[in-house]
Chains A and B, each alone.
Chain A
Amino acid sequence: MKQDDTISRRTILKGAALVGGVSMLTGCERASSLLTERMGEVIPDSVAESTSKQIDPAFHLLSRAGYGPWPGDLEHVKSIGTIAWINEQLDPDKIDDNAANFRASRFETIHLDGGTCFEYKKEVLFNEVARQSLIRSIYSKRQLLQVMVEFWSDHFNIDMSKGNCAYFKGSDDRTVIRKYALGNFRDLLKASAVSPAMLTYLDGNENKKSRPADIPNENYARELMELHTLGVHGGYTQQDVSEVARCLTGWRIQDKWQRGKVYFAPELHDDGEKEVLGHRIAAGGKEKDLDSVLDIVCAHPSTAKHLSEKLVRRFVAENPPSGLVASAASEFTRTNGDIKSVVRHILTSAEFAGAAGMKIKRPFQFIVSSLRAVGADTYAHNDVVDYLKSMGQCPFQYPTPDGYPDESAPWMAALLWRWNFALALTNNQIPSVKVDTRKLVTALGANDSAHPMAHPSDQHALAHASVQHPPDQHPSDQHPSDQHALAQHLMPHFLGRKGTRLELEALSPSAPAIISAPCLIGLILSSPAFQRC
């Protein structure tokens, strides 16, 4: 192929690397994939898709309460109904998730306590927890749980690059975020408050009053109210911040014997009387002061409103409709902070139903939904994580405690990385990801006979295709109307609706500008419609 451009040369080098077997699915991974295929992680032989001009409600639900449909998911939701699917998802323990668990089981450190993690290099810890997050989001059948895990991971943000946080995030993810993601908010908050990751990240571990002159460290006390519960204008004062900081003095993490274990040191605690948000906390409460504070902030009406607003923003719209925020807040108060009830309330609301296609995906959701839509086989190695980094959303690496933004504007500058990811994905150029676009196209019922070269069904074929075929031998025996027909066939699977005339025109250029089916799918994934959900 004639190359007068560094881009293409780089592409070729990638292809060459693949032939050399530098980084493909390993033998062990291939064996695992065979097993998970038997557990149902496959592209079905036939996949039905939306026939409507509007986004299918089941597609909408899968795109917001999950990471978009895996081939075949749409039929499942349509057959049992959206309400039944929501109820199924809200009871995640009853959903068999062995295949996803099996894929994620290769990461050792996510099962360990913080103390044991000190035996590992930080890079390993960063890597495993991020990869686990990707793997579970792509493959878990407990999709709503995963979405809530992402939500709470932002809400109770931990930046693993701060201090010792890297050692503690794995257990924070397992014993705080995952454990209570659909539980009761008060339990989640308590677990987070005494999590070594949070005590490290927001300096709670440094907050003490052992001498009269000691000035408490206010960092966690402030974020507890500003970010985790009441919200910045939730009605607390600097005096409240200072009083909460006093209440929370004395919580420590063991750093030698039983390293990483959290304990309360009475001698470092300010045991005087405090007043928090108008409530008196009597002297002598010791470690119970923490519970008193959490009871006060959880019961505060600003907390119900703040959390409801954030949940509605995540599930419904960037500018949360105030009526739904108010009713969700009532539900939060009525159920004493039962997260399931609030989520059910939001997902079954009219506002939710009317919001299809109005949100813009964040990079993590874009990447995971792309991988799901094509039914990819991956163990999410660094090549995938690197795309997330370039788009600015590597899990657990957001520096400030407010978590990755849930607005679309901050993510708009990274569209090029999305396009590059989509094109590399569908052309099988991400070494640790395997995509069978031929099978997908066939399952979607599109006539594929005009694409003799279009489906590099394995890595070798791709490398050969890239390296050995000069442009004049590129498959161009296809009629433009074939490409139009193919685009028409493929679009509903990715967008939940039929392609518009304009979209079809854009994707069906006149000869000789015909592109391969993988490239066409890459373009659909790059289109504005797929950036939305």
Chain B
Amino acid sequence: MAKTSRRDFLRQLAFAPKKSADRADVLVCVFLRGGADTLNMLIPTSDDLYYSTRPTLAIPAPGKGKKAAESGLKLDDFYALHPRMAPLLDLYHGGKLAFIQGVGSDNPSGSHFEAQDQMEHGLAYGQKVGGGWLGRFLQQANGQQHSPLCAVCIGPSVPESLRGAPSASALRTVDDIQLHATLKEQSVITAALAKLYGADTTLLNRSGLDTLDLVNKLHDLRLVKYQPAGGADYPKGDFGNGLREIARLIKANVGLRVACLDIGGWDTHFFQGTAQGIQAENIDVLSKGLAAFQTDLGTDPGKVCTLVMTEFGRRTYENSSLGTDHGKAFAMIAMGSHIRGGAVYGAYPGLKQQETDVLGPSGLKIETDYRSVFSEILESMDSGHHERVFPQFQSTRIGFVNSSRTS
């Protein structure tokens, strides 16, 4: 059976758009799993309490470290970046990267799973609404026909945030998406699977048809070897590879709207480290990856926003095993050509006035509900729908997205 007839056959089954419209905005969500200690990433160098409550873990203010490589990197008179965030410094000063300080959810449990779950579902504590926040967004986005590749997670499984999306795929690389059989067998197999999955009445129905369509769509893409633009140098490992695959999908114009990617290992109860150590290595990979991704996208005309989030911050003080325990507010990172970068949004809550639980101080005070950050991004991608994405939530405008570029 000829290739074209197989593809035509699959097209008849697929609900994907046949023509690729002008590229829509893309949101890339990076989730730092485990509750990242952003106080050691966006460092409040003018707050003496930071240094007195973290005698071994604090990052010295710019120029104050024993070695230059141990000191923070100056952002302004108040904040400095972790030394391993150097690759992000130019992006910040070049106006493409911003921080939003004091973000958090009202989840009181201190549980990674509860806090991640609540955040991925985009809800207030105890609120029950179906689907993840990105899933609901994609479902409701302005009368668009969705591509089976509208939502992609680079990793082993689809995150909760994409629950309810018209389609969501977990993959490792674009090259993975193929059926391992001879051409002749492929046509028979895909036809049989289309019939079998087409008639199924469970979750398998949609997943099977989506998968068949995906195979078809990526057939052409994988024939071309991917060359990152602008000499972008992605760090080795899952995170760098994942971002490269996302850039590849964005440029291939296959209908991607939302991509999710995780970095684990931020639950630094024990021996967190400073300029070196467990957290520093994670920060290094994160920063190099984000910088390479932005370089690779370069002057690409489409709007791509990268949002870096975590489920909660950590306590402001270190514990006896040279780590930090679960806390409250954290800082988010937003990056992209339409981000009003070069600024830290959100007031610094200060270490004096903290959230408390029965044990006393439990972390940075939450000044901004995380859904306000999400709302502002979604509003710039597709206006007028965030009420249904975040029911009963009144968002507060932060101003980190350049709305003049919003269409």
Contact = CB atoms under 8 A, between A and B. Distances in A.
Interface of A: 1, 3-8, 10-11, 203, 206-208, 210-211, 213-215, 217-219, 222, 226, 232, 237-239, 241-242, 360, 389-393, 399-400, 402, 405, 408-416, 419-420, 423-424, 429, 466, 471, 474, 502-503, 505-507, 509, 513, 515, 519, 522-523, 526-529, 531-532
Interface residues of B, number: 66
Interface stretch (B198-206, B242-250, B301-309, B369-377): B198-206
Nearest to B207: A412
Interface in B188-224: 188-189, 191-193, 195-197, 199-200, 202-205, 207-208, 211, 214-215, 222-223
Given A392-B157, A474-B184, A513-B188, A7 B178 contact: yes
Nearest to A12: B182
B202 A532 contact: yes
Interface string B354-387: 0001110000000000000000000000000000
Contacts of A502: 195-196, 199
- Please provide the 3 A-B residue pairs with the shortest distance between their CB atoms, ordered closest to farther: A392-B156, A506-B195, A413-B170
B114 A232 contact: yes
Contact of B196 (A215, A390, A503): A503
Nearest to B270: A206
A218 B186 CA distance: 53
Contacts of A393: 156
A416 B177 contact: yes
28 contacts: A7-B178, A7-B179, A7-B180, A8-B183, A11-B180, A206-B269, A217-B325, A218-B325, A219-B269, A238-B110, A238-B357, A239-B358, A390-B172, A402-B113, A412-B207, A414-B170, A416-B179, A419-B189, A419-B211, A474-B184, A513-B1, A515-B188, A519-B185, A523-B189, A526-B193, A527-B193, A528-B196, A528-B200
Given A242-B358, A411-B157, A531-B204, A215 B114 contact: no
A419 B169 contact: no
B23 interface: no
A400 B192 contact: no
B229 interface: no
A175 to B, nearest CB: 25
The residue in B1, B155, B182 that gathers the most chain A C-beta atoms within 10 A of its C-beta is B182
A399 B265 CA distance: 9
A406 B321 CA distance: 34
A409 B203 contact: yes
B157 A410 contact: yes
Nearest to B108: A238
Given A217-B270, A392-B170, A509-B188, A413 B153 contact: yes
A217 B320 CA distance: 8
Contact of B208 (A6, A217, A402, A415): A415
Contacts of A529: 196
Contacts, number: 181
Contacts of A10: 180
Given A6-B223, A206-B321, A519-B181, 6 more contacts: A206-B270, A215-B325, A238-B357, A412-B203, A412-B207, A413-B158
B207 A413 contact: yes
Contacts of A528: 196-197, 200, 202, 204-205, 208
A247 to B, nearest CB: 16
A532 B110 CA distance: 36
Contacts of B191: 509, 513
A52 B214 CA distance: 36
A6 B358 contact: no
B109 interface: yes
A478 to B, nearest CB: 13
Interface in B270-329: 270, 319-321, 323, 325-326
A133 B175 CA distance: 29
B168 interface: yes
Nearest to A2: B183
Interface in B313-353: 319-321, 323, 325-326
Contacts of B182: 1, 7-8, 11, 466
Nearest to A413: B170
A419 B179 contact: yes
A105 B116 CA distance: 41
B71 interface: no
Nearest to B175: A6
B357 A507 contact: no
Contacts of A392: 155-157, 170
Contacts of A412: 158, 203-204, 207
Nearest to A357: B202
B33 interface: yes
A208 B157 contact: no
A207 B170 CA distance: 37
